[in-house]
Amino acid sequence: MTSYSRHDVLRILQISARQLQGWERAHLVAPQQSYSFQDLGQLRILRALREDDVPAASIRDSIVAMKAVAGMANPLQEACLVRTGTRLAFRHRGAVVDPIRRQLLFDFERADGPSAASEPCPLRKPVPGNQRGVQTRFLAAVQAEEAGEKEHAIRIYEEILALDPGYAPALINLGTIYFHLHRFDRAEQFYRRATEVDPGYVLAFFDLGNVLDELQRPDASIAAYLHAVRLAPRYGDAHYNLALAYERKGERRRALRHWQAYVTLDNQGPWADHARSQIHRLLSGEKLAIAWRAGGFVARRKGTADLQLLPGAAGQG
């Protein structure tokens, strides 16, 4: 097998020694003196991602999460990367997976191809005999949503849950439809069911926090966001909404902690600018002392997720 020295790698990929050392410090690649052809392929992917301004920590967290949910040794070599905003997803076994949120995404590139109805990645144990039908319906429901046919999508998601009552992605998407319809009590039911059938489903707890906030149940909302942060400490959206929730309760020190966490995770864009302004206001106007050390709370990183305004939920991340 052909091997390449560090000098060869720097020359072939046209990267600097400092760049390679930075990737090693970020735990994107293991430090070594000899590289295989497969290693070169992985480094090319990393170079492209970094040139596209994907945060190193976002890459690392996505790789770690994909190893956990799909049992892969090296997701960069075993699956195809898909950009979804500032996050990374992976195309694997006919599905596009956001591994950090443990969410199946609709694969628009292959929707009309033979793999559109293929078996999804093993995010949860499938129901024997039903999985192919469930996945086919799930893709059809997402298509209906994208076409604005909400009632049709609801019927399909209900068919999915009749086949598999514990199919968490359908519970989440159905809850989100009801959220946008401002039927918050109904949305809460589906989000809560998703947390029960899959206690490790980060998005379920985040969305539950959002709807509880709309229902003006701040303590329950904070509890849901905190659970999401415990499952995914680098989930910037949850830190942002926690900061907002604590500020509304007048708990400024706790709000400050999560504003700081958010800008550590996502330091660009309007939401980061707003978080920094809140930090400045709290530190200068309220004369609060910083009561935490960044290195001991959350690793430095940029955002893990795009922030979207939901109807009726202005100001939440």
Instruction: Count the domains in the chain.
Output: 2
Position 220 scores a pLDDT of: 96
Is 295 part of a structural domain of the chain? yes
Above 80 in pLDDT, residue 111? Answer: no
Q: How confident is the model at residue 158 (pLDDT cuts 50, 70, 90)?
A: very high
Give me the phi and psi of 44, to 5 degrees please.
-65, -40
For 313, residues 6+ apart whose C-beta sits below 8 A from its C-beta are 210, 213, 214
Neighbouring C-beta atoms of residue 91, cutoff 10 Å:
18
Considering only 170-174, 259-263, 282-286, 305-309, which range has the smallest mean pLDDT?
305-309
- The pTM assigned to this predicted structure is 0.56
Q: Give the end of a domain, one of 52, 69, 91.
A: 52
Q: Give the end of a domain, one of 36, 52, 68.
A: 52
Average pLDDT of the residues in 220-239 = 89
Position 214 scores a pLDDT of: 93
Q: How confident is the model at residue 7 (pLDDT cuts 50, 70, 90)?
A: confident
Within the chain, what is the greatest distance between any pair of CA atoms? Answer: 63
Token code pair at residue 239: 């830190």
- Separation between Cα atoms, residue 298 and residue 279, nearest integer Å: 17
Position 119 scores a pLDDT of: 31
DSSP character string of 79-122? SEEEEETTEEEEEETTEEEETTTTEEE--GGGTTSTTTTSPPP-
Above 90 in pLDDT, residue 216? Answer: yes
Considering only 41-45, 214-218, 228-232, which range has the smallest mean pLDDT?
41-45
Average pLDDT of the residues in 125-152 = 71
Position 84 scores a pLDDT of: 67
Position 2 scores a pLDDT of: 58
Above 80 in pLDDT, residue 148? Answer: yes
Token code pair at residue 49: 């991602």
Is 156 part of a structural domain of the chain? no
Three-state secondary-structure class, residue 1: coil
The percent of residues in the chain predicted with pLDDT above 70, rounded, is 74
Neighbouring C-beta atoms of residue 48, cutoff 10 Å:
11
Instruction: Give the N- to C-terminal CA distance of the chain in Å, as an integer.
Output: 49
140, 169 Cβ separation under 8 angstroms: no
Considering only 75-89, 124-138, 244-258, which range has the smallest mean pLDDT?
124-138
- Identify which of 173, 188, 177, 176 has the alpha carbon closest to the alpha carbon of residue 150: 177
Is 26 part of a structural domain of the chain? yes
Is 308 part of a structural domain of the chain? yes
Token code pair at residue 120: 């999804």
Position 106 scores a pLDDT of: 54
Above 60 in pLDDT, residue 115? Answer: no
The domain of 27 spans 1-52
Rounded to the nearest integer, the mean pLDDT of the chain is 75
Considering only 25-29, 155-159, 292-296, which range has the smallest mean pLDDT?
292-296
Q: Which amino acid is at 41?
A: G
Is 71 part of a structural domain of the chain? no
Burial of 60 (0-12, 13-18, 19+ CB in 10 A): middle
Above 70 in pLDDT, residue 122? Answer: no
Neighbouring C-beta atoms of residue 59, cutoff 10 Å:
22
Position 301 scores a pLDDT of: 36
Question: Of 6-10, 219-223, 292-296, which one has max mean pLDDT?
Answer: 219-223
Q: How confident is the model at residue 218 (pLDDT cuts 50, 70, 90)?
A: very high
Position 217 scores a pLDDT of: 95
Position 187 scores a pLDDT of: 95
